[in-house]
Amino acid sequence: MYFCKMRIDILSLLPELMHSAFSASIMKRAQDKGLVEILLHNIRDYSDNKHKNVDDYQYGGGAGMVMRIEPIAALMDKLMSERNYDEIIFMTPDGAILEQGTVNYLSLKGNVMILCGHYKGVDNRIREHYITREISIGSYVLSGGELAAAVLVDGIVRLLPGVLNDETSALTDSFQDDLLAPPVYTRPPIFKGWTVPEVLLSGNQQKIDQWREEQSIERTKIRRPDLIKKQNEG
């Protein structure tokens, strides 16, 4: 069976922070199978001065440095001259909160570019003229966008056909139907007197599926009522 390879280019000031995230487990297997190509680019390599500076003071004053436009634009222009990108994403705390639907959408794309933010942010002209989508992984601030980019890429790559040994596994993950996944159990059936729900040992798949659906709905009501509200509003 043939699968089209996805390409993900990540632009960063500290690409070494992401090496381990993409060199083991599912991420490594996906690359070894030729299902995805993940390339890390150091923005400093495109700085136009001998000191490789990539930041400067912000106009109007204020605390914090800003990522300069020239090296980022130079790198983006180079990559865009070589291929077309379906999405150019900026990882930023003020972006749209990452949800499973976005991950599903991006997993269907061929070429994706991701820019990792740093300092006080990036010169806004990059956001205005290059970026097609801005994503945050939560309402908090990290020291840089590298970890957030790794989270996004992990979420995307595991959905690519051929990556997981059991491709139906991803379809039953939490959030795929705006519901949390039901609880799971494995052997032994009894441990310290704690038992596995009897229905899971019954062999009756219809009853098992019904139990899982009920548990999924109940868990979501308790832990993420916002998802239930979202379904009702939809």
Among candidate residues 76, 79, 8, the one with its CA nearest the CA of residue 38:
8
Domain extent listing, the chain: 6-157, 172-233
The pLDDT of residue 228 is: 86
Amino acid at 225: P
CATH of domain 6-157: 3.40.1280.10
Among candidate residues 228, 138, 233, 135, the one with its CA nearest the CA of residue 180:
228
Fold classification of 172-233 (topology level): Trp Operon Repressor; Chain A (1.10.1270)
> CB neighbours of 13 closer than 8 A, spacing ≥ 6?
42, 43, 44, 54, 67, 116, 118, 144
CB 122 within 8 A of CB 97: no
Asked if domains 6-157 and 172-233 share a fold, the reply is no
Mean pLDDT per 10-residue interval, the chain, length 234 residues:
80 97 96 97 93 92 94 98 98 96 96 96 96 97 96 97 76 72 93 96 96 95 90 76
> In 10 A of CB 158, how many CB atoms?
18
The pLDDT of residue 1 is: 46
The pLDDT of residue 174 is: 57
Q: What share of the chain is helix, strand, coil (3-state, %, to 5)?
A: 40, 20, 40
Parallel, antiparallel or unpaired: strands 190-191 and 133-136: unpaired
